[in-house]
Amino acid sequence: MYLAMERGPDGVRFFLRHSFIGKDGIWISTDVFDLGRDPEEYVEYIDERVFLISPKVEDALYKKGIEYDYADLEEIFWPFIDPVIRQRIDDFGGIRGRGPYRKSRFSKDELRQMQACIHPFDRRRMLFLKFLQINIEPLMDEPFVFLNKLLNKSRDELEQNFKFMEMDLRPWELKAYVYAIFALPGRFANRLSRFVPDAQDQDLMDKYFIEELCSLNADPSYINIGARPASFIGLHPYLRRYAIRYFDLAFKGLGADFEKGNTFVQQQASSYNQEGYLKIMGISKKEFEDMSKKEFVRFYRKKAQMLHPDKGGEHESFIRLKEAFESLLVVKKW
């Protein structure tokens, strides 16, 4: 069971989902419970150190016939617990979740055999998020216990988990992350500078990135029938965020292919609901059309300061605002 976050015209909604093996032997997922826009509504506080998950959630799991560990359910709701209560629980040892892969009882050979099915893209993402370094290729064949978290999950569960983990990346780590997970260092000459994104030819790097993105998008072992949605046009939604992060956030590299309008970034922009993003930003379509890039960025920064968690704002509201800003930049082709 896992938490899924989906963005739509009305903003972000959260869902409890469950991965299971389908009749064809492929891991797929199903919706278990719609948590709405604020999962904390399903948290009941007993006192300053105790909380319970609403019986409505447990009833839904029971009706679906889903077996679960209550500690795992608490972990799913943990990010939405009142910060003051969360700190008090941490002071008393926190929540100790359980799971089949929390501790290693396997030899290296057993781990290596278990992890042989992990997709290289998933492995690279997990390795970077764990070690925060670009040169992860020497680690690709190593059997680490934490990689077991990638086992026995649907493609949707993996992508939702990565989506939440990536939120912890700091701005200056984003460039290194995208550069590493798409195996771009291996595309350049075998010298130490290949691990420095800023040292590479931008047009060449754009070309390599698009090739890797297209290859992954066409890879049936990554995009299989267990992915959501089952059918799509152009770049799969799981990969669109990386196209935006590469071209608009991390590298701002607009190579020849981008100028010709052949990249997936523009496809992504047209598929998003512009009205929904304008609503999140709190501006009308006309106001947006009349704004210069400088005015729009200035407007975003003021609003971001108001919604920033450090200033008392909600984390999810801040994330929604950032997503709207990034996507509207693409819509304007800024």
233-244: per-residue pLDDT in tens?
Answer: 788 999 999 998
Cα–Cα dist 112/142, whole Å: 7
Tokens at 145, concatenated: 């216990």
Is the domain of 317 the same as that of 243?
Answer: no
| Tokens coding 49 | 């150190």
What pLDDT was estimated at residue 58? 92
Give one word for 261, left, alpha or beta, with left for phi > 0 and alpha for psi -120 to 50. left
Measured between alpha carbons, how far is 183 from 227 in angstroms, rounded to an integer? 23
Tokens, residue 56: 């409505």
The model's pTM is 0.70
Residue 310 has pLDDT above 80, yes or no: no
Give the Cα separation of 82 and 130 in Å (integer): 27
Q: How far apart are CA 158 and CA 149, in angstroms?
A: 9
Residue of 181, 81, 84 lying closest to 127 (CA atoms):
181
Same domain, 175 and 238: yes
Closest CA to 275 of 10, 13, 14: 10
Three-state DSSP class for residue 45 = strand
Same domain, 127 and 200: yes
CB atoms within 10 A of CB 54: 16
252 plus 137 within the same structural domain: yes
**Same domain? 276 vs 256:** no
CA distance to 12, 27, 210, per residue, from 273 (Å): 13, 30, 24
* Average of per-residue pLDDT across 199-216: 92
> Confidence class of residue 186 from pLDDT cuts 50, 70 and 90?
very high
CA dihedral for 313, 316, 317, 321, sign (positive or negative):
positive
Structural domain contains residue 81 = no
Quote the domain boundaries for residue 287.
272-334
The per-residue pLDDT for 303 is: 85
Q: Which of 40-54, 116-130, 199-213 has the highest mean pLDDT?
A: 116-130
Q: Domain count of the chain? A: 2
> Does some domain include residue 99?
no
Tell me the pLDDT of the chain averaged across its residues: 83
CATH code, domain carrying 311: 1.10.287.110
173, 220: one domain: yes
Tell me, yes or no, whether 111 lies in a domain.
Answer: no
Residue with tokens 């984390």: 315
Residue 243 in domain: yes
**Predicted pLDDT at 93:** 60
CA-based nearest residue to 157, from 27, 13, 297, 318: 27
Taking residue 230's Cβ as centre, other Cβ atoms within 10 Å add up to 10
Alpha carbons 115 and 108: distance in angstroms, whole number: 10
For residues 41 and 165, give the distance between their C-alpha atoms in angstroms, rounded to a whole number.
Answer: 23
Residue 239 placed within a domain: yes
Question: pLDDT tens for residues 223-279?
Answer: 876 888 877 778 899 999 999 888 876 665 444 343 344 444 444 444 446 777 888
* Residue 231: predicted pLDDT: 74
Q: Which of 229, 260, 291 is the last residue of a domain?
A: 260
Give the integer Cα–Cα distance in Å for 113 and 308.
Answer: 44
pLDDT confidence tier of residue 296, bands split at 50, 70 and 90: confident
Residue 26 or 256, more confident: 26
State yes or no: pLDDT of 112 exceeds 80. yes
Q: Is residue 73 part of a domain?
A: no
Q: Please give the pLDDT value at position 153.
A: 93
Same domain, yes or no: 208 and 168: yes
pLDDT tens string 48-101: 778 899 999 999 999 989 988 888 888 899 888 888 887 777 766 655 444 444
